[in-house]
Structure 1
């Protein structure tokens, strides 16, 4: 089966995790760190370390070690800091970050 990673077609076997496919690439990384930009590689392969985060079919910060590949899947490696989006609705700005606690909406400290 074929999926795309960073816009390039990549072959995978049914049952492969997305992280396993990322590890077979050169260079083998799923994201870069927000501070130094250094590449991070999937490590534990069981959803504990969060080093395998990537965007899968438009969903950012997906734990790729927990997702099996599908035909036509789109994967984008994440680079650096997350970009927050603002949606303007007439006179009100809406953000995906809660203004009271600075956490993503729906997440409590």
Structure 2
């Protein structure tokens, strides 16, 4: 069984870069600054970002460009964040997303809506 992360920096591109500290499911990680949350987690050997609502199958990033929504995670308490589109930041708290996406309900301000007749 493979123990090293499948995703690693390309050696020709690796250089002394600044790192940021963050946590994933309360596990501390030090990752290169300037990369996406999804890339940082993959480089750290994390291959389960969320679980599907029906079968609870593990899911991980697929497209890495914001189309597939497989990389949804909770970042700093905000659910449904696409990890491939968010840059890592020092102190970031990331959690895997379990089950169905929570839809943030915002009640409609009825008085602010103009009725056209």
TM-score scaled to structure 1, two decimals? 0.72
RMSD across aligned positions (CA): 2.0
- Partners in 2 of 1:40 and 1:14 — Cα distance? 24
Q: CA deviation at 1:83?
A: 5.8
Equivalent residue of 1:70, what SS? coil
Q: Which consecutive segments of 4 or more residues in structure 1 shift more than 4 A?
A: none
Unaligned runs of 5+ in 1: 85-94, 99-109
What is the total number of aligned residue pairs between the two structures? 88
Query: Is residue 86 of structure 2 the alignment partner of residue 67 of structure 1?
Result: yes
Q: CA deviation at 1:60?
A: 0.2
Query: Is residue 22 of structure 2 the alignment partner of residue 21 of structure 1?
Result: no
Of the structure 1 ranges 74-83 and 47-56, higher mean CA displacement relative to structure 2 is found in: 74-83
Cα distance per residue 1:57-105 (max 9 Å; x no partner): 1110001100010000000000113467xxxxxxxxxx9387xxxxxxx
| Aligned positions of 1:1-109 closer than 5 A | 1-82=20-101, 96=105
- Partners in 1 of 2:78 and 2:40 — Cα distance? 18
TM-score scaled to structure 2, two decimals? 0.67
- Greater strand share, 1 or 2? 1
Q: CA deviation at 1:15?
A: 1.0
Change (3 A) 1:12 1:80: same
For the 8 Å contact 1:23–1:29, the answer to whether it is kept is no
- Partners in 2 of 1:27 and 1:64 — Cα distance? 13
